Amino acid sequence: MPATEPTSPRDPQLQAVADALSAPFDPKDVKYKPQMVKNNRALAMAYIDARLIQDRLDQVLGVENWQDRYDILPDGSVMCRLRVNLGGRWVTKADVGSPSEQPDAGDRLKAAFSDGLKRAAVKFGIGRYLYRLPAQWVDYDPVKKQLVQHPQMPAFALPKTAKAAKPAAEPKPAEKVEPPKADAPKPAGSLPADGKELHRRLQSYDAKLAAEKLCVRGALLAHVTQAGVKAGFTANLADWTGPAIPFAVEAVKAFEQTVRGSGNPEPRTAA
């Protein structure tokens, strides 16, 4: 009987990118529609907007590291080919979106484009957890034809929130993540003013590290995002503020020390 070849361990940086892509969305961004209706009750089906997927791709990979292409098929459905740059290698996954039942032909086609992107993105892990949600019946208004309430999200479908990590936002814990002034030089001269500036700096520094072949593209963004989620911050770096900013500095330092090696000079930070 032939021996089974051992499975090679996955690149931890690529794993970090994959985990960041597949992280749960904020529950307020998840939408629901009735899949089946019985009197005043409906089976709720969760879904996300296509723009939310685009935001996730921008945030984790950078706007220049993903592409989408669409082909309209004879039956009115649309094939989406989603191409992403993972560790310097372009990977393409495709799926077909179905048109809606709207009366306007343009709206039906637009829905097929969005559906195609969503289905292709699921193959990269984005929003895949929504397919594992348990079936839930909720109250339904047959006159307005809409759900009266939203289902309860199970724990695995919830990102950790700042509320769950409330101690990290209090003065003393915040002091622990404040970067020492003596050994945390900041190229821009100061900490980012807000999450949007933080995200811009991290994207730029991520590109620099990738250009130096120290990590795959998106690994730094994924590392900081994952560390923040574990500490109780939102998965959207652009929303970070207050103690989350110096926390990001520490996360960048830790990441760079790892990729450069502990024997190298003191790391610089992107934030």
Asked whether 188 and 258 are in contact (CB, 8 A), the reply is: no
DSSP of 76-108: S-EEEEEEEEETTEEEEEEEEEPP---SSHHHH
Q: Judging by DSSP bridges, how do beta strands 89-97 and 31-38 pair with one another? A: unpaired
Q: What is the pTM of this model?
A: 0.63
Number of H helices, E strands in the chain: 7, 7
- What tens digit of pLDDT does each residue of 115-130 get? 999 999 999 999 999 9
- What tens digit of pLDDT does each residue of 44-54 get? 999 999 999 99
Task: Taking residues 239-263, report their average pLDDT.
Answer: 80
DSSP of 190-201: S--SSHHHHHHH
User: What is the Cα 163 distance to its own chain's centre?
Assistant: 20
In this predicted structure, the answer to whether residue 269 has a pLDDT above a threshold of 80 is no
- What tens digit of pLDDT does each residue of 146-188 get? 899 888 899 999 886 534 433 334 444 444 444 444 343 344 4
The domain locations on the chain are 25-157, 166-260
Query: What fold characterizes domain 25-157?
Result: Enolase-like; domain 1 (3.30.390)
